[in-house]
Every structure is written in structure tokens, then in C-alpha cells.
Chains A and B, each alone.
Chain A
Amino acid sequence: MSIDPNRRRVSLCPPDGPNQQPPELSHINAFLRGALRVSAAHGLNSRPIEATEHPLVAGSQPQTEIAPAFRVRGLTKTYQTDGIAVHALRGVDLDIATGELLVLVGPSGSGKSTLLNILGGLDKPTEGDVFFHDAALTRMTTSDLTTYRRHHVGFVFQFYNLIPSLTAVENVRLVTEIATDPMSPEDALAMVDLTDRIDHFPSQLSGGEQQRVAIARAIAKRPEVLLCDEPTGALDSHTGIVVLEAIERVNRELGTTTALITHNAAIGMMAHATVRFHDGKIAGIERNPNRQPANSISW
């Protein structure tokens, strides 16, 4: 069994949709195959997981016939701080379907950021497993995780984290230079409506513009996963909506599986589902059959 990195394009209207695997992707596959061997050795991928086993995601309409992008099983994360155990996650199970836009909400310390960090390969759980397709992230080495982030994950941060010494287009190019099948930086910036500001340095851009550059930078490598941690947290509502529109568009047009942390429950209106966290556990998942466009949300 192998992973088709183009799988994401199968489900949702790919804009250009090449079906053949570009040769430069082969090394990613090699890496993922390596990860798979590890999972196989642990007998982890020998047990097919039926969607029905997980009613939390059952019924996600568009992707029922497609294996989920992430399978999270029994995820526990405990931090030891000065001898006191802090339970950030207490046994979380979750499947995230390919191409899904998921909103994670919950109070501070409820575990949503910890989950996002583990999904993004930035942190490792204390117990449990996370599969990205069939690769067990929880079995990967630090350098494997770097490769995973490099080729498969796009990040959007609350405070943008642009490189101040690089212009907008250069910030995007920073990522496309090391990606295997990126879109052009200009196209990425066009997707977030920033065509006219590509030669500006971050200090010359507004907060919303900076965040859109950050989104362009995150999606320019055509990641399979886009992880956003409070992307509108530092923005006013008007600018926040422009940013959300960009995220929505990327999810729709590129089929990028997207997880978005927010304190703002209203954003759930644009998502396929909202996952509520409480005290390190999933308190509930609300499917959203009537998704609203981002520009109709207000707060």
C-alpha cells in the first residue's frame, strides 16, 4: 500500500488536477514508505479502521469513500511541569477526512493547540497514535517530522511570523524553493488577493495583509494539510473575514485538509464541522450541513 500524494485532488475540484505523480515526489513517497514500514512493524496499519467505528466523523458527506487524512487514536499528552503533571490531552480519537475544513474550539488549555501541534509534527504525544494517511507520525524521528512538515503541512500563525527581511513574494518563495511541486509564488499571492503588494516588506503591510502573505506562504507548496492557529486572533473582524475567505478558497480550490483553531465560535459556520474541546477531551463534534461563505460571518 502506498500513499498517493495527489489523493487530495481526487475529491475536490482540482484547479489543474494532474493525475500523474511528478517524479520529484518520489522521495517523499520513499520517506512515507519508510514510515509505513515502521507502522507495519508495529502492526498499526494491519487493522483497517472503518469509518463506522467512529461515529464522530461518520456521515462526512463528500469523503465517505476516501480514507481519512488523519486518524487519531487514544491520544494522550501529559506535560511534567515542576513535578506536576498537566494533562493536555486525555485520550482523543478523531478522524479528519481529506479535504475537510475543521474548526477547533474550546477554552484555553482544553487541548486544541496540543492536538494541532501533534498533527503538524511539532510535538509528540505521551500515548496514542496519529496516522497521516497510513504513516504513523507518532513513530517518526525528528528529522522525518521535519520532512513531513516541509512537504505536507502548511502553517498559519496568529502573529503571521513572516520574515521581516524578505518581501511578500520572497516570503512565499522561501517555501516554494524547498517544495517539490509548488505553485508559483505569484499565483499563491494571487489566491489571497495580494498581487499588487508582492514587493512589499512585512513592515510595509497591514496585519491582514501580512496574514494573507502567511496563508500564501503556507499553501504555495500545495500542502495536503493546512493548520491555522488563531489566524484571525490579532485582526479586526473586517480584516479577519478577508483572511478567512482566503482560507476558505484554498480549502475549496486545492482540497487542502484544514484545521483551524479559534476562540470565535462564529467561524464554525464556514467549516464542515466544529470540534469542541474541553479539559483535554473532545466534548462534541458538530457537523455543519449548511456551510456559510466566510464573508457572511460576522462577529
Chain B
Amino acid sequence: MTVTISPLDRKLLRDLWHLRGQAIAIALVLAAGVALFVTLLGTMRSLGDTRDAYYERYRFADIFAPVKRAPNQLRVELARIHGVAAVQTRIFSGVTLDVPGLAEPATGQLVSQVDPTTGSLNNIVLRSGRLLAPGADDEVIISNAFADKNDLGPGDSIKAVLNGRRQQLRIVGTALSPEFVYALSPGTIVPDDRRFGILWMNRDALAAAFDLEGAFNAVALKLQRGASEPAVIAAVDRILAPFGGTGAFARQDQTSHFFLTGELDQLAGFSRLIPPIFLAVAAFLLNIVVTRLIATEREQIGLLKAFGYSDIAVATHYAKLVLAITAAGIIVGLAAGTWLGLSMTSYYTRFFQFPFVYFRPQPDLFAFATAIAVAAALLATATTLRRIMRLTPAVAMSPPAPPSYRHSWLDHRSLIAWLGQPSRMILRHITRWPLRAALTTIGLSMPVAVLITSFFFFGAIEAFIDFHFDQTARQDVTMTFFEPSQADVRRTLAHLPGVLAVEGYRAVPAKLTSGTRQKRVAITGYPQGADLSRLLDGALQPITLPAEGLLLTTRLADFLAARPGDTVTVSVMEGRRPTREMPVVGLIESYLGIGAYMDLAALNRLMLEGPVLSGAYLMTDAAEEERLYRALKDSPAVAGVALRRTALESLRDTLAENLLISVTFTTAFATIIAFGVVYNSARIALSEQGRELASLRVLGFTRGEVTYILLGELAILILVALPIGSLIGYGLAAAILHGLNNDLYRIPLVVTPATYGYAWTVVVVASLLSSLIVARRIGQLDLIAVLKTRE
């Protein structure tokens, strides 16, 4: 059987070959849009599915509640709460670790562990070694990432100070847990798996170490389907209050889940924001290319119709051309999207600690991406296709009327009096087709905007770091005590090696209520004249701590709708649990966490306690670092040590890795847009003005002068697009941060000149390169043909 290709299809193939440069450029932009769509949504779904399956299979709890010390019998009462399916009472504690090979002390989160086969909650996934032997009081299973980063495994041991007793812990296994997909030590926003790990221990051993025999200090609950979360939380709080409950919270406030969900939300946000930009630009390019093609093939269209081809047949022929380019874009996009989705998912699996990944083929997603790409392409060319249908053979076969120019406002105000003729040609061309110029400008502004949305993070994070680590929390070491300690602990700390200054603080959990709004936060008391960890106002100036009243972070004040002068109800959830009406006396700026601050002595008075501290900030001498770390590792009273240097390092490392990936991809994609728009615009300009330009060459204009006329218009549009794209980019950055910022951290909206510089450079370089490819064709203009032929 021989396959015969109809003459029209043969023409289609030749047209495609003739337009290959432009077709490829458009297909690439379209492919980028489809790929991003598939990547972002596919990753989001895979990650979401993986998370849900993980939670389900390992029974991640729905409600969590810390408590000071509650008797085990309370478990029955908790289980009786309406809507509760399962209760797990546990022992949680922070611990300072001495990890072999690590100079500074690490922080461990101790979690009591029961046999995971008993149908309990928050079950661990053993990755190596074995489960804890019943009754063993020195065995631990450690979190997988912590083991990897420190090269630890079953058979190794680490030293810890458990409630004042220094103890050697034998590692018997490594594990993952749905509770610690994103393992953060308190007060940080990026994981530092080298210095923070989860340690699962037998409950009895922990109870013995922390004087919690017959008691627990944490509870996790699983809800029945359809149970009321707020009602259960209220019931749990009521039951635990007498035993020092500091407030139950739902899964959405659980740190690991919070960050994981935030990441998924961000993917969803990007998938709504970025792919449409690419599809819109591709649609615009298809429109201008097809419109131009029809203009050059006008006579052919008339001829085909004169031969008896129907309007539909001719329009279909051109629709096929559009669809061929679109199909190429879709195929490349789906393939690239799947590959990117896989890489991104596997990256996320490393970043988040998952035991398995669901990445399934997603035919519905493919179908949806295909549908919107085809719809965008046909929509973009619908007007042109309709024009083909309407063209009568007689009209089509006579040449189109030459473009008519009229005097415009440009001439009247002698705006162009000082311009040479080539520049006038450029300006008149822009004002003759203002819509196309505007759309081209917008098309060119998009890569600038897209680049800014990823690159601005570098500067914004630096602003965050500068504010938080250099202006606010300037201490080198933050120590948290097991128990509130008497204020004279400061003297002991001051004598540690290398300690230059000590400032104590008191932090208590409390519920702040204003009207109907309520928030669980920490109230932190600072000593007067605190200079290591400082409180800054909106203008970043240090605030003098008022003797009475509360300072709120701006985000908390916004949430509570409380302003200085208003009164809020403070219900402390520690100690004697006082409840007081307190005035808000000022607002402070904070990029890390939300909370309330007050004078240390006033807080001690509020708590009806003596001068006690929850922890201390240290300024240290870097030269004495090692000796200080050794001392801290052995210090019995320390539940956790956070180091400014390592916190900064891990923040920068994590962000550098994340941002580098995102900036690399954005740069590639933005380059594709810039290339697509510039290349197509220049090719169309060349096609439209080729005859003019060749005439000018005949008249003795040099290639350079003619190139100026060809590309001058684009150059102007690019120059206009740069600031417009910067504005759009700033807006997008603001929108992204609005979605990203939360109660745990806030990235300031800072777009540095370097960000604009980078975005502009990428777009200008991509534009230059693609326009040079087109400019080369000026040398190939047929000078002789212009003498003879009418267009």
C-alpha cells in the first residue's frame, strides 16, 4: 500500500520546514509552559499522595498536646472524648548530644517509643538495624537523616545528658517517622540534620530518666472520621490543664506537617501563576506568526479557493500548521515535564524524609495540559483563521493594500524633529501597530518578571538574615534549660570558657485573646537593656522595653487586631497559669516567629515566681569555641543549644541548594521566552520590511545601518519591557511572599538592584543573541530582486 500525501499536506510540511526556526521557538515556549504545568502539578500531586499514604499507613496523629506531667490514668479519660479514635501518651524531651566527630553540641528530640506493631500512632519506619529491645534502657533508634549526616548507624553510640545524668546511648537502628518528615529544631526554619536528630527510646527508660514514672508529658490523638477538631482540642485542654497542659494543637500546626503543606501550597501557587504566562506568550507568538504567514500567502489562499478548495479546507490547512507546532510543543513539554517532575519529586524526597514516593503517570494531567495548550493555540489564531475563511479568491489574489501611514501625534509636537529618518521609521512602525508593540513589550517583560520571582529570594533572604541574625538575635549561643532556673545561673554561665556576655530570658506559653480572636504564643521576658537579643520597631530601631505591658510582633497584632493602647487577655499555660488583662504598649518587627514580649521582672511577677530564667543568650569568643562546646555538652541543665553560626550555615546551605535549582530552571525558561519573542518578532519584522531594507541596502546603507532599522524597534520595546517586567516581577514577588509568609517566618519583600540587574542581563543577552541570528540574514537579502518585484 502506498501512502499518498495530499498536495496541501505536502505544502504544510514545506511551510513548516520554511518556518522551522520560528516554529521551534514557539514550540519551545509552549513546551516550557506545558512542562512547568506538568512538573509543578505532578510534583504537587505525587508529594501530596506520598504524604497522605505515609500518614495513613504509619498512623500520623491528628491532635497533639504537650503537658508538664500527667498521670497515665488520664489516658482513659482522653480516649473517652467524643470523636477520639486512639490515644498515644508519650514522653518528649529535648537533649544535648555529644556526637562523635562534631565539635559543637547537637540537639536531640527524645521520643518515647512503644512497639510499632501494636497499632499505636506515629509509627516509625525502620530503615536499618532493629527495634528497641524491651526493657533496654540505653538503646536508641535515631532518625535516618541525622544518622546519614553524622555517619552513624547501628552499633555506634552517642553521649547524651539525660536530666543531668551523662549517659552513653547505643544506636540499634535508624528510622523515619511521619511526625518528622521535616525535622526542625525549635526556632529554626530549615533542617540541620547534622546538629538535630530524633532519638526514639524505650518509654520506661525515658520515664526513669525524667522522673516521669507512671506519667507522660505529651499526648497524640487520632480522630474518628467526622469528629470536630476544635471540640476535641477544647476537651483535651480541659483535661490536661490541671497537669500543666500548654495547649493542644491540630495537625496543621504541627511543625513538620506545616512546612510540608506550605511547600505543597507553594507548588500549587506557582502552577497557577507561571505556566499561564508561558502559554499566553506562546499563544501571542503563534498569533503573530500565523497572521504574517497568511499575509505572505494571501495569493496562494486565493488560488486554492479559486481551484475549488472550500473555505473550511483552506482554514483547516492553516489550523493544521498551528496544531503541528502546538503538538510539537506539547510532546516536548509532556516529556520534559515528566522528567522534571520525577527529578523534582526525588529532590523533595531527599529534602523531606519520606520512606517511599508515589510518582504515578498522570494521564488526566497530560490530557488537561494538552487541552489547555491546544485551546490556547486555537484561540490565539481563531481570528486569523476566520479571516482566511472570509477571504474571497478575487480579493486574495490582488496584492494587499500597502501599509498606510498617517501623520500622528509624533509629528505634531515635533517630537521627532531631531531624529534621523531611520529612527523615524522605527517610531512610526511602533505607533502604526501599537497593539502588537504593546503585546510584544508585555511578552518581553514576562521573562524579566519570571526571573525576578526566583532570583529575588537571594536578596530577600539576605535581608532576612541581616535583620534576624545581625540586628535582632545577635547572640552566638541560645541555651534552653530543662527547667526554669534561678537567675544566678547567669554567673555560672559567665564563667564558661569564652563567654563574653550573658543575658537571661524567660519564655512561657500563653493564650492571647482579643475579642473573638485567640492565639497560642510564647511570652518572652527580656531584661532591661538587653543588647544581645534586641527588640526592634518597624523602623528597625531598638525599642526600650517598657516596665509594664506587652509588646506584640506586628503579625500577631494584625491577627489579634490589637493596637498599642488596646488590652488583651493573657492566659499563661505554665506554672500557676495566671490569667490577666494586659495593655499592648508597642509593636515590634520580627521575621522569625510571632509572639509577645515584656519586661523580665514583670513576667516573673506575672508568673508569681522569683527571678527565674528559661534560658540564656551568650556572646562568645570564637577562639574559645571548642572549649565552650565541650563544657556545654556536659552541662546537665541544658535541654538545647542553638548556635548562630551553624543556624546561618544551614539556612544558607539549604537555600543555596533550593534557590540554585529554581534559579537555574527559571533562567532557562525565561531565556526560552525572551528568545522566542525576540526571534519571532525579528523574523516577522524582517519578513515585513525585508523589501524596504533591501532597498536601503541598494541605496548604499550599510549592513549595520539596516540592522539598526530592523532591530531598533525591538531594542526600544525591550528597553520599555525591562522596567515593566520589573514592576510585574515585584508584584509577583509580593504575591509569592504573601502566600509563603506565615506565623513561623516572614521573608521581607526586598528586591535588590542585583536582582533587577540579573533579570535584565539575562533578558538582554538572550535578546541580543537571538536578534543577531536574525540580523545575519540581512546579509542574505536579495538586493536584485527588489529592483524587479513588487511584494
CB within 8 Å of A: which B369-424 residues: 401-407, 420-422, 424
A199 to B420 alpha-carbon distance, docked (Å): 16
B788 touching A229, Cβ below 8 Å: yes
- The reply on B69 being an interface residue by CB < 8 A is no
Shortest distance between the CB of B424 and any CB in chain A (Å)? 6
Hey, which chain A residues are within 8 Å of B680, CB to CB?
none
- The reply on B313 being an interface residue by CB < 8 A is no
A163 touching B425, Cβ below 8 Å: yes
Interface string of A146-161 (1 = CB under 8 A from B): 1111110101011101
Hey, which chain A residues are within 8 Å of B432, CB to CB?
165
B425 touching A166, Cβ below 8 Å: yes
- The reply on A202 being an interface residue by CB < 8 A is yes
Q: Please tell me which one of the listed residues A158, A173, A203, A217 contacts residue B402 in the complex, with CB atoms under 8 A apart.
A: A203
Chain A residue nearest to B786 in the complex (CB): A161
B699 touching A150, Cβ below 8 Å: yes
Hey, which chain A residues are within 8 Å of B428, CB to CB?
165-166
Q: Please tell me which one of the listed residues A123, A143, A201 contacts residue B404 in the complex, with CB atoms under 8 A apart.
A: A201
A165 touching B700, Cβ below 8 Å: no
Interface string of B682-703 (1 = CB under 8 A from A): 0000000001100111111111
B: number of interface residues (CB 8 Å): 34
Chain B residue nearest to A155 in the complex (CB): B698
B692 touching A203, Cβ below 8 Å: no
B402 touching A166, Cβ below 8 Å: no
Chain B residue nearest to A227 in the complex (CB): B787
A199 to B406 alpha-carbon distance, docked (Å): 10
Hey, which chain A residues are within 8 Å of B699, CB to CB?
149-150, 155, 174-175, 217
A27 to B330 alpha-carbon distance, docked (Å): 57
Q: Please tell me which one of the listed residues B406, B421, B697, B787 contacts residue A177 in the complex, with CB atoms under 8 A apart.
A: B421
Hey, which chain A residues are within 8 Å of B697, CB to CB?
146
CB within 8 Å of B: which A172-224 residues: 173-175, 177-178, 199, 201-204, 217
Q: Please tell me which one of the listed residues A158, A165, A217 contacts residue B429 in the complex, with CB atoms under 8 A apart.
A: A165
Q: Please tell me which one of the listed residues A146, A157, A163 contacts residue B700 in the complex, with CB atoms under 8 A apart.
A: A146
Q: Please tell me which one of the listed residues B401, B407, B695, B788 contacts residue A163 in the complex, with CB atoms under 8 A apart.
A: B695
Hey, which chain B residues are within 8 Å of A129, CB to CB?
none
- The reply on B784 being an interface residue by CB < 8 A is yes
Q: Assuming the A-B contacts A149-B700, A178-B700, are A229 and B421 also in contact, with contact meaning beta carbons closer than 8 angstroms in the complex?
A: no
Q: Assuming the A-B contacts A165-B432, A166-B425, are A151 and B784 also in contact, with contact meaning beta carbons closer than 8 angstroms in the complex?
A: no
A158 touching B424, Cβ below 8 Å: no
A150 touching B701, Cβ below 8 Å: yes
Interface string of B319-339 (1 = CB under 8 A from A): 000000000000000000000
B402 touching A122, Cβ below 8 Å: no
Hey, which chain A residues are within 8 Å of B401, CB to CB?
203
- The reply on A5 being an interface residue by CB < 8 A is no
A148 to B421 alpha-carbon distance, docked (Å): 21
- The reply on B543 being an interface residue by CB < 8 A is no
Q: Assuming the A-B contacts A117-B787, A177-B421, are A201 and B405 also in contact, with contact meaning beta carbons closer than 8 angstroms in the complex?
A: yes
Hey, which chain B residues are within 8 Å of A149, CB to CB?
698-700
A217 to B701 alpha-carbon distance, docked (Å): 13
CB within 8 Å of B: which A106-143 residues: 113, 117, 120, 122-123, 143
- The reply on A164 being an interface residue by CB < 8 A is yes
A159 to B694 alpha-carbon distance, docked (Å): 13
A: number of interface residues (CB 8 Å): 37
Hey, which chain A residues are within 8 Å of B790, CB to CB?
159, 234
| Central interface residue in B406, B422, B695, B789, by most chain A CB within 10 Å | B695
- The reply on A170 being an interface residue by CB < 8 A is yes
Shortest distance between the CB of B751 and any CB in chain A (Å)? 38
Hey, which chain B residues are within 8 Å of A143, CB to CB?
702
- The reply on B783 being an interface residue by CB < 8 A is yes
Chain A residue nearest to B789 in the complex (CB): A159
A166 touching B424, Cβ below 8 Å: yes
| Central interface residue in A120, A201, A234, by most chain B CB within 10 Å | A201
Shortest distance between the CB of B571 and any CB in chain A (Å)? 76
A117 touching B784, Cβ below 8 Å: yes
A113 touching B425, Cβ below 8 Å: no
Chain B residue nearest to A175 in the complex (CB): B699
A227 to B431 alpha-carbon distance, docked (Å): 34
B701 touching A163, Cβ below 8 Å: no
Q: Please tell me which one of the listed residues A146, A157, A173, A229 contacts residue B702 in the complex, with CB atoms under 8 A apart.
A: A146
B787 touching A229, Cβ below 8 Å: yes
A163 to B696 alpha-carbon distance, docked (Å): 9
A135 to B271 alpha-carbon distance, docked (Å): 67
CB within 8 Å of B: which A9-42 residues: none
Hey, which chain A residues are within 8 Å of B701, CB to CB?
146, 150, 178
Q: Assuming the A-B contacts A146-B700, A155-B699, A165-B405, are A113 and B787 also in contact, with contact meaning beta carbons closer than 8 angstroms in the complex?
A: yes
A119 to B401 alpha-carbon distance, docked (Å): 33
A161 to B781 alpha-carbon distance, docked (Å): 15
Interface string of B762-791 (1 = CB under 8 A from A): 000000000000000000000110111110
A153 to B700 alpha-carbon distance, docked (Å): 8
Q: Assuming the A-B contacts A143-B702, A163-B695, A166-B425, are A155 and B787 also in contact, with contact meaning beta carbons closer than 8 angstroms in the complex?
A: yes
Q: Assuming the A-B contacts A166-B424, A166-B428, A203-B403, are A122 and B788 also in contact, with contact meaning beta carbons closer than 8 angstroms in the complex?
A: no
Hey, which chain A residues are within 8 Å of B700, CB to CB?
146-151, 153, 175, 178
A148 to B784 alpha-carbon distance, docked (Å): 16
A52 to B783 alpha-carbon distance, docked (Å): 36
B698 touching A122, Cβ below 8 Å: yes
A165 to B700 alpha-carbon distance, docked (Å): 19
A148 to B703 alpha-carbon distance, docked (Å): 14
Hey, which chain B residues are within 8 Å of A202, CB to CB?
402
B429 touching A177, Cβ below 8 Å: no
A122 touching B695, Cβ below 8 Å: no
Q: Please tell me which one of the listed residues B422, B691, B786 contacts residue A174 in the complex, with CB atoms under 8 A apart.
A: B422
A164 to B783 alpha-carbon distance, docked (Å): 18
Hey, which chain A residues are within 8 Å of B702, CB to CB?
143, 146, 150
Shortest distance between the CB of A127 and any CB in chain B (Å)? 19
Q: Assuming the A-B contacts A175-B699, A202-B402, are A158 and B784 also in contact, with contact meaning beta carbons closer than 8 angstroms in the complex?
A: no
A243 to B705 alpha-carbon distance, docked (Å): 30
A166 to B404 alpha-carbon distance, docked (Å): 10
Q: Please tell me which one of the listed residues B404, B405, B425, B695 contacts residue A161 in the complex, with CB atoms under 8 A apart.
A: B695
Shortest distance between the CB of A164 and any CB in chain B (Å)? 5
Hey, which chain B residues are within 8 Å of A166, CB to CB?
421, 424-425, 428
CB within 8 Å of B: which A37-96 residues: none
Hey, which chain B residues are within 8 Å of A163, CB to CB?
421, 425, 692, 695-696
A163 to B422 alpha-carbon distance, docked (Å): 10
Hey, which chain B residues are within 8 Å of A157, CB to CB?
695, 786-787
A146 to B787 alpha-carbon distance, docked (Å): 16
B787 touching A164, Cβ below 8 Å: no
Shortest distance between the CB of A113 and any CB in chain B (Å)? 7
Chain B residue nearest to A149 in the complex (CB): B700
Hey, which chain A residues are within 8 Å of B696, CB to CB?
163, 174
A42 to B403 alpha-carbon distance, docked (Å): 49
Given contacts A149-B699, A175-B700, 16 further A-B contacts (CB under 8 A): A146-B697, A150-B699, A157-B786, A161-B695, A163-B692, A164-B402, A165-B403, A165-B428, A166-B424, A166-B425, A170-B421, A171-B421, A174-B696, A175-B699, A178-B705, A229-B788
| Pairs of residues from A and B, 6 with the lowest C-beta to C-beta distance, nearest first | A150-B700, A203-B404, A149-B700, A165-B428, A161-B695, A174-B421
Interface pairs (13), CB distance under 8 Å? A122-B698, A146-B701, A146-B703, A161-B786, A163-B696, A164-B405, A165-B405, A165-B428, A165-B432, A166-B421, A173-B421, A229-B787, A229-B788
Q: Which residues of B contact A (CB under 8 A)?
A: 401-407, 420-422, 424-425, 428-429, 432, 691-692, 695-703, 705, 783-784, 786-790
